[in-house]
Structure 1
């Protein structure tokens, strides 16, 4: 029995309730599935909970918010290897920051006040792009998220593993017990979805080739 895929979602992040409700009504009326967030941290918690199993989504992100502003939320989304296109909503004074964010990987920005049809068209373009990208790169995004979720010690053990070192050698190099190495090794394999160091090296090699 097959299940229908989760619907594409537009995430609206704005601390102004009127703006959130207005955008939600507009996009819902055009047939989009919408979720709204009053703060960036709430969206980030949702993203962390996905654990790399990405849905087809686009983020409309206000630049001026508190306690985390739009740029800080965007930076954390990138750190989580979240592949969703981010479209910034900016006031006139934020255009410079929005342009810098686009150069740093954001999808686009719209300066307030914006025309409804322009916003809907940009969202549709971003959604089409993420659907095409994720269809081809789901595993790449999952691996990037898994790498981002590793602790600093797990990254050290991983670096030793892909060099072909044995547990005892890794323990001696890092100044930890062999049992601790085995513990970290098991966590790394689980997070990366592999069963051997060779499989891990192959997956990381394919990931590096896509950078």
Structure 2
């Protein structure tokens, strides 16, 4: 199977149309989508995404409003500056901290990765990088293993695949293979794109986000 690749958000909008044409499944055939590598730098860290791919299929429900994608990839955070933490504090979830873009700060720096899924919504715009749009209903869900996503026109879902604490400087990696996302309720086109967020706590708080290339889910 071809090597799959990830991509940073920088200049990714120019590739959206090409990927949309390439990745659309025809009939009942599966469509394998290789995605380009990506890198994003922030204060004291570098995020990379490699070996990213998606396999898109019609939903077994065969209702015309469903489709399934299996996603794979590896994300790595090379962190040179972060406070050393021996006992992380209590979780403060995104619901309690608007604007954290599906990440979670709980007294320790953290690596967080997943996918943004939209129904009849363009998620390829840099303007969407803050994680929400005034004209789009945005809902965050946390999942593990696989995700069943109910989504309607104009809606967006965040699907969290994994998190890893960063208690000290070092290299931290999250890998996933054939993570299943089943989308139901979207009668029009659907798109998805990966995200990876690294939050660094301390006196000089920072949040760095790496986005992957948007791809069609049919």
Regarding TM over 0.5, the answer is no
Higher relative contact order (CA 8 A, sep 6+): 2
Q: Which has the higher strand share?
A: 2
TM-score of the aligned structures, taking structure 1 as reference length: 0.26
Q: Which has the higher helix share?
A: 1
TM-score of the aligned structures, taking structure 2 as reference length: 0.25
